[in-house]
Amino acid sequence: MSRWPRRAGSEPDDPAGGLAADESDEPDTEVVTLDDAALLAEADWVIGGEEAQKARRQALYVAYVVVLLSAFYGFPFVQAVFRTTDQQTLRDQLTSPVALVVLVAAVAGMLLAALWVGRFRGPVVPPLPWIDLVVTAPVDRARSVRRWWRYALAGSVFVGVLTGTVLGGGLAFAGATSPVAVAVGAGAGLLVGVLVAHLWLHAQVRSYPSPNLRLGLVWQVPDSLRELHVESLRAHSANTSTLSGSAMTGNLRTARLALARPVRFARATRLRPGRPFPTLVRRDALGMLRAPSSFGAGLGLAALGAAVTVWGLITPAAPGIAVTIGIVPLYLGFGAWSEGLRLQADNVGTPSLIGTGPRTEAVAHLVVPAALTTLVLAAATALSALSRTPAPAALLCLVALVPLLAGGHLLAAFRGTAAPTVQSKPQALLFWYLTPALVVLLLASLLAFIEKSDLDNLLVAVFWLVYGTVAWGLHRVRRLTHEHRG
């Protein structure tokens, strides 16, 4: 309830509203008590109108479509992946310590991702008019922003339960486990979804300095919502607009610049002078020291991807689709270490100050991520070799993955700007943006298929395709540089 002071009017026979001569000079006031729920409902209708109700119905329709896609495509795909694997081997691997470590690492990665994303875009992001007109009013802030928290919590729980149900159902119907796995998967997805949503909110609360921040706020949702500062809500709403605009135009440079954090680590470390190529390599290494969050995120993603990829290539009983799944976090981990390459692409066409050509500079920026990825893949292969000797063809495929990832990120960094006809079509824009990742995914899957099918003679052809990917990426570097200089 909100209490609004109002000056008392005069009696009906005093139309001027003044005080009688014999009354005190102190103005009389009365407190008018208004219902917060009624105020918020009227504000919702005035600010959002029918569009707000349409948006809620569209959200329910999107959830309905996602359920249908999961039932008709996701579940059969997961079931087929498990059915193509030897059942006894799959059971042994699911109960092994390695599977437990991978599961814990995956859940920890999601939780850390929620904490990281919450610094820029939290779960509670009302529109700017609502923030300026309603949140700043004398209404309980927990009630004024509670709706957006419920949306985020429902979405997180929905995704978690759906994912757990699909994975558990795939295992059960493939015969690898009992039907209880469906309920276990749904319950685990529910718990992970709730925890992700709460950590996401906690990260948003911590994005604005406050003396009342404590770890106990993670589970005290009303108190957390009251700790959300108006300036923090405005910043997160602006970040949402920036991300949406960058995604719609296919230009993520604006989003990266808007979300960049100030450097707080290794500020006293200076870059030593030297020849151009090693200086660029040392510059990227120094960038890793000054951005430990990027290094840690890349290491976690690369370790997870390397573990799955190496398992899929070295273990004969592993399904070939394991390499396709594992290459996704490996690709993202390589990208987290390739900030120097993206910065070169952002300033493409600018003459180099140290006398290097654009392709030489691009190759120098690939040294650090390629070296780190090689170390992670070598460590995963060494651990796998303790239980099984890898085949030479599998080792060659692992070696080919590093230049394949490098070529894919050359294409990604120097993709340029989408044509206006592409920008006007969301599906075409999405395909244009994902083309480098799809090339890497396709060639990695082809490598796994040939290695699993004992068609070693065809590996040479795939290696030439990998070489062609790198050459294509270097060609894009040269072409984009000349286009900007022209």
Q: What is the pLDDT of residue 8?
A: 44
Does any domain span residue 165? yes
pLDDT for 403: 93
Q: For 138-169, how does the pLDDT look when each residue is reduced to its tens digit (9 = 90+)?
A: 777 778 888 888 888 999 999 999 999 988 88
- Please choose, from the candidates 253, 255, 247, the residue with its C-alpha nearest in 3D space to the C-alpha of residue 423: 247
**Do 181 and 308 lie in a common domain?**
no
Same domain, 221 and 135: yes
Say if 151 falls within a structural domain.
yes
Classify 32 as helix, strand or coil. strand
Residue 175 falls in which region: left (phi positive, over 0), alpha (psi -120 to 50) or beta: left
Number of domains the chain contains: 2
Is residue 434 a part of any domain in this protein? yes
259-267 LR contacts (CB < 8 Å, sep 24+): 259/120, 263/290, 263/291, 265/289, 265/290, 265/291, 265/292, 266/290
One domain, residues 128 and 232: yes
How many other CB atoms are there within 10 angstroms of residue 49's CB atom? 10
What is each CA distance from 465 to 240, 394, 401, in whole angstroms?
Answer: 39, 17, 12
25 domain residue, yes or no: no
| 160/70 same-domain check | yes
Let me know whether 320 and 405 are in one domain. Answer: yes
Claim to verify: residue 90 and residue 201 sit in the same structural domain? yes
236 and 281 belong to one structural domain: no
Integer Cα distance of 303 and 293 in angstroms: 15
Using CA atoms, how far apart are residues 29 and 35, in angstroms rounded to an integer?
A: 19
In this structure, are 370 and 233 located in the same domain?
A: no
Do 375 and 456 fall within a single domain? yes
The answer to whether 31 and 5 have CB atoms below 8 angstroms apart is: yes
Q: Which two tokens stand for residue 157?
A: 């729980």
Query: pTM for this structure?
Result: 0.75
Indicate whether 80 belongs to any domain: yes
Provide the domain limits for residue 439.
Answer: 277-285+292-338+357-485
Tell me, yes or no, whether 214 and 326 share the same domain. no
* Tens digit of each residue's pLDDT, the chain (486 residues): 544 444 444 444 444 444 444 444 555 555 545 566 666 666 666 666 566 667 777 888 888 888 898 888 888 888 877 777 667 777 777 777 777 887 888 888 888 888 888 888 888 888 888 788 777 777 777 788 888 888 889 999 999 999 999 888 888 887 777 888 888 889 999 999 999 999 998 888 888 776 666 667 777 888 888 888 888 888 888 877 777 777 666 666 666 666 666 667 767 777 778 788 888 888 888 888 888 888 888 898 899 899 889 888 888 777 777 888 889 999 999 998 988 888 888 887 777 777 788 888 899 999 999 999 999 999 999 988 877 788 888 888 889 999 999 999 999 888 877 777 777 777 787 888 888 999 999 999 888 888 877 776 777 888 889 999 999 999 988 888 877 665
Identify the pLDDT of residue 352: 75
Is position 24 within any domain? no
- Which pLDDT belongs to residue 41? 65
Assess whether 234 and 374 both reside in one domain.
no
Q: Are residues 69 and 182 in the same domain?
A: yes
Let me know if residue 170 belongs to a domain: yes
Residue 123: inside a domain, yes or no?
yes
